[in-house]
Structure 1
Amino acid sequence: MNWTPVLISLFMIVGPVAAMQIEADPRSIASFMDKSLTPELDILQVATDISADNHLVFQVKTRGEQINGKNSDYLLLQILHEKTYLLLLPLNKEEGDKILIYEGTLQPENHKLSKITGEFKEYNLSADFTAKRIVRGAEFTVPLDWINYGADFNFDAYTIQASMQGNTLQINKVYDQARKGRKEEKRFSAITLLNKICSPKKR
């Protein structure tokens, strides 16, 4: 099923209300360069799109790449959507492209990864979630059918040092955050994000 006409139709109904709730374009994050970090740890941008096979795509770009190095360093996409979902890909290319996915309880007053406490358990319903490496970064995808369009949606990206104990994720260090240095972003609805992506882009 092609979701684009459906999303545009829904936007005609809920778009004006949703648009009043956001102040910035929810489709992307432009991050500040941090030259104190090595290039593979420095996030420059996060952009979103919809693929031809009906997946929401998150493209995370960094200033450089890591061919080898610490096996405990990861590029992480955080999705806040009813719960907290963490999608991880090793920065070390020698570790391959296996995606790791964890979930945790979403605390409304505490959305920043560096301040989140508690445990993140392995997410077992992740068969259609994927990740792949691109030049200086990675692409993460989630199926559109997984999204609850009536719920809030937000995302961020990080480079981190982490360890796994059984099915539990332990975040040991945060190197960089795409939204670092910004005021707390207002949360927006999933339908707002999807309709922004589907709307014609200005030239």
Structure 2
Amino acid sequence: MRHSAALLLLFMAIAGTPVSAMRIDADPRIIVSFMDKSLPPELDILQVTVDLSADNHLVFEVKTRGERVDGDGADYLLLHIRHGKARVLLIPINQGKGDAIAMYESALQPGMQPALPRILEEPGSLAGLGARRISRGAEFRVSLDWIDFGDTFGFDAYTVRADEHQGILEIHQIYDQAGKGRDQERLPSAITLLNRLCTPQRLRPE
């Protein structure tokens, strides 16, 4: 979908699209995760913020309590997106490993949409997707061109222990999760999510 058409559809929906039963938070751009002092600071997710950029990207900023230069090379910070398929974007916890981003995907399982798949495959293309390291966390970017506005859209952030081998990602352990909603809640449509992101705070439903 072209940028102009996507943005026109988005702003038309602000006035008329009903809000899904799934709540994100009082402010839909923020997910707050409780501090877990039993975890090392670099594995403890504190907050996820979501916003729209001037260059037509959804920007997910995942913040942790701390960071580290080196250590266990199997530890990752990842964003889990449920949109048509289950997809994960991940970046190494260790700063010494650079900003290399990887993406893997898996089919959504009926009745299991909120669950993070433990085995995913490499799709071979990162077009419209990106990530970079920030202070105490990472920023993940998803182009609006990549989004099907008629489909549902959900997301969670995790710190995990995982192995990458021959195009397969296997997640062995979840350290922390920042998510929203109950397991059985229906995912909102992509246009509803964007509607709530763009609606001024005073107009957002409680």
- TM exceeding 0.5: yes
Residue ranges of structure 1 left out of the alignment (5+ in a row):
none
- Deviation per CA, 1:118-166, whole angstroms, max 9, x where unpaired? x311022312311011111110001101101111110000000110120
- Within a 5 Å distance, the mapping from 1:163-182 to structure 2 comes to 163-179=163-179
- Within a 5 Å distance, the mapping from 1:14-53 to structure 2 comes to 15-16=17-18, 19-25=19-25, 26-53=28-55
- The Cα of 1:108 is off from its aligned counterpart by 2.7
User: Aligned Cα RMSD in Å?
Assistant: 2.0
Identify the range of structure 1 (124-133 vs 72-81) with the bigger mean alpha-carbon deviation. Answer: 124-133
Structure 2 CA distance for aligned equivalents of residues 123 and 58 of structure 1: 21
Residue ranges of structure 2 left out of the alignment (5+ in a row):
none
Give the letter for the 1:22 counterpart: M
Structure 1 CA distance for aligned equivalents of residues 114 and 72 of structure 2: 24
Alpha carbons 2:120, 2:170 under 8 Å: kept: yes
Alpha carbons 2:20, 2:188 under 8 Å: kept: no
- The Cα of 1:12 is off from its aligned counterpart by 2.6
**Out of 84, 96, 112, which is 1:94 matched to?**
96
Give the letter for the 2:74 counterpart: S
Matched, 1:188 2:188: yes
Aligned residue-pair number: 197
Give the letter for the 1:7 counterpart: L
Aligned to 2:126: 126
Alpha carbons 2:128, 2:145 under 8 Å: kept: no
Structure 2 CA distance for aligned equivalents of residues 52 and 90 of structure 1: 27
Task: Determine what percentage of the aligned residue pairs are the same residue.
Answer: 49
- Deviation per CA, 1:24-50, whole angstroms, max 9, x where unpaired? 434331111111000000001111111
Give the letter for the 2:23 counterpart: E
Structure 2 CA distance for aligned equivalents of residues 112 and 63 of structure 1: 24
Matched, 1:103 2:105: yes
Structure 1 CA distance for aligned equivalents of residues 182 and 23 of structure 2: 12
Alpha carbons 1:11, 1:191 under 8 Å: kept: no
Structure 1 CA distance for aligned equivalents of residues 140 and 20 of structure 2: 28
TM-score of the superposition, structure 1-length normalised?
0.89
Alpha carbons 1:74, 1:88 under 8 Å: kept: yes
Structure 1 CA distance for aligned equivalents of residues 179 and 22 of structure 2: 16
- The Cα of 1:6 is off from its aligned counterpart by 3.6
Structure 2 CA distance for aligned equivalents of residues 92 and 151 of structure 1: 35
- Deviation per CA, 1:43-89, whole angstroms, max 9, x where unpaired? 01111111111111111011111111111100010000010001000
TM-score of the superposition, structure 2-length normalised?
0.88
Structure 2 CA distance for aligned equivalents of residues 79 and 45 of structure 1: 16
